[in-house]
Amino acid sequence: MNEPRVQVGILSRERIDFVLHGSYHADTIPVSGRQTAILDQGRIRWGGTLCDELLFTPDDEATDAFDLLQVTIGIGFHWERHEDQRFRGALRLLVEDGRLTAVNIVPVEAYLTSVISSEMSATASPELLKAHAVISRSWLLANLQHKTAAPLPTHEDVEGGRLVWYERDAHTRFDVCADDHCQRYQGITRASTDAVRQAVAATRGQVLAYEGRICDARFSKCCGGALEEFATCWADTSHPYLRRKRDWTSAGLPDLTQEAEAERWIRSAPDAFCHTTDAHILRQVLNNYDQETTDYYRWRVEYTQEELADLVRRRSGTDYGGIVDLVPVARGTSGRLWKLRIVGTKRTAVIGKELEIRRTLSPTHLYSSAFVVDKTGGCTPEGLPRRFVLTGAGWGHGVGLCQIGAAVMGEQGYAYDAILRHYYPGATLEKKYE
């Protein structure tokens, strides 16, 4: 296998302005400088021609680059804005869903250097960066390989409710998009750091594999001390390398699927790699560390009866009436709930899985679904609890690599392959190309 190329969907609109630096070819026609392509009756108008697809290939991939003008970044976020972005590799224009779409065709290693530079802090340790490079490459190559896999069912009805989970929809006309939906990619606009370039080069071609297949290398911010299994968050299948494990050297892990053990675990703060408040380490993983709260190894959220009833109604689209209780029904191996019963005055139902529970009980997302519930403040005149206190552990789904834990391991001198072996037990490193 040679180093593959990845097709990254960058933007879609009616008109695309771009600048080719160096010398490019469209078919056999040499072309450079400022260009405009316009959607015209479902086809692409470029100069005097009307066509269905256009490919601009650089004569020298190492030095030629193109700019896309006024790319929208941070779509849907308060910091949404437009900026010009520069890319290496080829530019493909096509029409998808009635919109003109720009696709960057770029070698995998260059893509990874860009993605990791924008995702990871420049202060991250070399071993953490290498571990991330392997994970991102595994995700990408698995994506290229299994593109045609049939979409999984995404819900399952249970007694009195529905379990929902979310898988990324595959793109059809390109491999990945440039947004957070896949991995954030901004071309070579942002200077990639030396540290990232070295980490990508040092692991060139390496992926995590299990029995010959590239691993589904999931990761999240902070496991909360124990790793979660795949089926708690997504379809009911198991990956042997995503399994129950303490995020720590050797100490055992209680059976957190048992309510009493989960409660003891969540209400205490056991030793774990990710149990840290070291600002130097947290800054490696959390880009906006200084603006964020840092109490996510163990955290607490409090709602009044009115707040919770209103929140659940808005977020679930179902009117439960007043909230009588939130009852844990099933927990995964990290103590994360994947079934929760909401007992209301008008309706009672079980919801899940992990992400659905986090979305329903927060205006955005709860840090995790590993929580226990206390009803405090006595009762309202109607006999409902006045306050609900959620005490929780970890941030994110907890499956696979724990970013905070991996950052701590990197600082403690663990090599990237040891970090990967810890979080993906049984998986091996394989070099797919030189």
Q: Under the rule (CB under 5 A), what is the footprint of Zn ion?
A: 177, 181-182, 223, 247, 274, 402, 405
User: What whole-number distance in Å separates Cα of residue 284 and Cα of residue 303?
Assistant: 32
Give the three-class secondary structure for 134.
Answer: helix
- Minimum distance from CB of 284 to Zn ion (Å)? 14
- Minimum distance from CB of 50 to Zn ion (Å)? 29
User: What whole-number distance in Å separates Cα of residue 392 and Cα of residue 222?
Assistant: 12
- Minimum distance from CB of 406 to Zn ion (Å)? 8
- Minimum distance from CB of 292 to Zn ion (Å)? 17
- Most distant CA pair in the chain, distance: 80
- Minimum distance from CB of 280 to Zn ion (Å)? 17
User: What whole-number distance in Å separates Cα of residue 53 and Cα of residue 56?
Assistant: 10
Could you write out the DSSP letters of every residue in 234-282? SSS---TTS--EESSSS-----TTSHHHHHHHHHS----TT----HHHH
Cβ distance to Zn ion smaller for residue 60 or 169: 169
**Residue 300 backbone class (left: φ over 0; alpha: ψ -120 to 50; beta: rest):** beta
Cβ distance to Zn ion smaller for residue 103 or 209: 103
- Minimum distance from CB of 56 to Zn ion (Å)? 23
User: What whole-number distance in Å separates Cα of residue 23 and Cα of residue 64?
Assistant: 7
Cβ distance to Zn ion smaller for residue 6 or 350: 6
Q: Cβ atoms within 10 A of the Cβ of 42, count? A: 9
Cβ distance to Zn ion smaller for residue 9 or 352: 9
Cβ distance to Zn ion smaller for residue 7 or 35: 7
Cβ distance to Zn ion smaller for residue 128 or 209: 128
Cβ distance to Zn ion smaller for residue 221 or 358: 221
User: What whole-number distance in Å separates Cα of residue 125 and Cα of residue 131?
Assistant: 10
- Minimum distance from CB of 372 to Zn ion (Å)? 19
User: What whole-number distance in Å separates Cα of residue 248 and Cα of residue 251?
Assistant: 7
